[in-house]
Amino acid sequence: MLDITQESTSKFITTSRGDIHYNEVGEGYPLILLHGSGPGATGWSNFNKNMSVLGEKYRCIAPDLPGWGQSYAVTLEERRHAESLLEFMDLLGIEKAAIIGNSMGGAVSIRFAAMYQDRISHLITMGSGAGGARLFGFGDGPSEGLKILWKGYRDPSPETMRELVEIMTFDKANASDELVQQRSANARSRQDHLDNFIDGIGKPRFPFVSDAELAGITAPALLIHGRDDRVVHYENTLYLVAQIPNSRAVLINRCGHWAQVEHPQEFNSLVDNFLSNTPA
């Protein structure tokens, strides 16, 4: 395991729309790790446990997506994360990479895989939405977890961040004081990110990738989901694995929305085995 810190891995790059912050560690084949939504979310907070291990073998790059962390601000209407990722890769001189995404980051990864098939070798998602028809018919409206997530944007206090971290995980022991304080401080440091997200709540979002687009994805896909996810139900991964041709799903019991945080050893092993043994 590499001895890394947020400060020692922190970098910035200037794009046509603004600066993107990212954390980078390791050498070898590039892995781009995309964080999920939520107040205070960053590439580092989502993936530091994984980068310290996977960075021994791969070049791990975890950007703060536009609208999050230390990257430039965007409104809902200005979000073009797949396109921003393409420019980010171009500026770093990365022709092709494996892309790993949690939740919203998974949705970005899926869209990227559908739009830029020659730039992605492997697609890995955790707790990602799928759109389309519901399989199990679990009510309407936002999930329990999304309601807490939205609350966190309006009140990014440590108390609300503890609620958020607890609902993101199966085991409340993962809601460490350090993570709670980190998420709260990250969120409160960028009022522009909070305001832009709040302004977008309830507005129509860009459509999910269509079934035809999912069926056209050529990259092999590993779709991971926690059985106890209270933010995005695991039915979404069942839907995705039925649509993406070269895909496999892993369902983890006693696991919430953050498989990479709650089960880092298993997650790291799954990723390494998939990349090592699944031809692009």
Q: Is residue 177 domain-resident?
A: no
Q: What is the mean pLDDT of residues 152-169?
A: 95
The confidence band for 97, taking pLDDT boundaries of 50, 70 and 90, is very high
Q: Is residue 167 domain-resident?
A: no
Q: Is residue 229 domain-resident?
A: yes
Q: Is 27 exposed, middle or buried (0-12, 13-18, 19+ CB in 10 A)?
A: exposed
Helix axes 104-115, 81-92, angle to 10 degrees: 70
User: How far from 28 is each of 1, 86, 149, 205, CA to CA, in Å?
Assistant: 16, 20, 36, 36
Considering 81, 193, 225, 257, which one is annotated as catalytic?
257
Percent of the chain whose predicted confidence (pLDDT) is above 90: 87
The owner of tokens 């970005």 is: 108
* Residue 208, pLDDT score: 80
CA distance 225 to 235: 9
Classify strands 10-14 and 19-25 as parallel, antiparallel or unpaired: antiparallel
Whether the pLDDT of residue 159 is over 60: the answer is yes
CA distance 275 to 145: 31
Q: What is the CATH number of the domain that holds 97?
A: 3.40.50.1820
* Residue 33, pLDDT score: 98
Whether the pLDDT of residue 228 is over 60: the answer is yes
Q: Is residue 20 domain-resident?
A: yes
263 is catalytic: no
CA distance 244 to 129: 14
* Residue 132, pLDDT score: 61
Q: Is residue 121 domain-resident?
A: yes
* Residue 204, pLDDT score: 81
Q: Is residue 209 domain-resident?
A: yes
User: Count of domains in the chain?
Assistant: 1
Lowest mean pLDDT among 9-18, 123-132, 148-157, 213-222: 123-132
Whether the pLDDT of residue 138 is over 70: the answer is no
Whether the pLDDT of residue 188 is over 70: the answer is yes
Closest-CA residue to 4 (of 21, 25, 33): 25
Whether the pLDDT of residue 139 is over 60: the answer is no
Residue range of the domain that includes 46: 10-138+205-277
Q: Tokens at residue 154, please?
A: 């309006």
Q: Are 162 and 269 in contact (CB under 8 A)?
A: no
The confidence band for 210, taking pLDDT boundaries of 50, 70 and 90, is very high
* Residue 187, pLDDT score: 96
- Write the Ramachandran bin of 223: left for phi over 0, alpha for psi from -120 to 50, otherwise beta: beta
* Residue 142, pLDDT score: 81
Q: Tokens at residue 137, please?
A: 């018919």
Whether the pLDDT of residue 15 is over 80: the answer is yes
CA distance 109 to 84: 12
Tens of pLDDT, residue by residue over 34-81, are 999 999 999 999 999 999 999 999 999 999 999 999 999 999 999 999
* Exposure b/e, 46-55, CB count within 10 A at least 16 = b: bbbbbbbbbb
Q: Is residue 166 domain-resident?
A: no
User: How far from 74 is each of 23, 84, 96, 126, CA to CA, in Å?
Assistant: 20, 12, 26, 24
* Residue 140, pLDDT score: 62
* Residue 205, pLDDT score: 75
CA distance 276 to 280: 10
* Residue 51, pLDDT score: 98
Q: Is residue 3 domain-resident?
A: no
Q: What is the mean pLDDT of residues 211-227?
A: 97
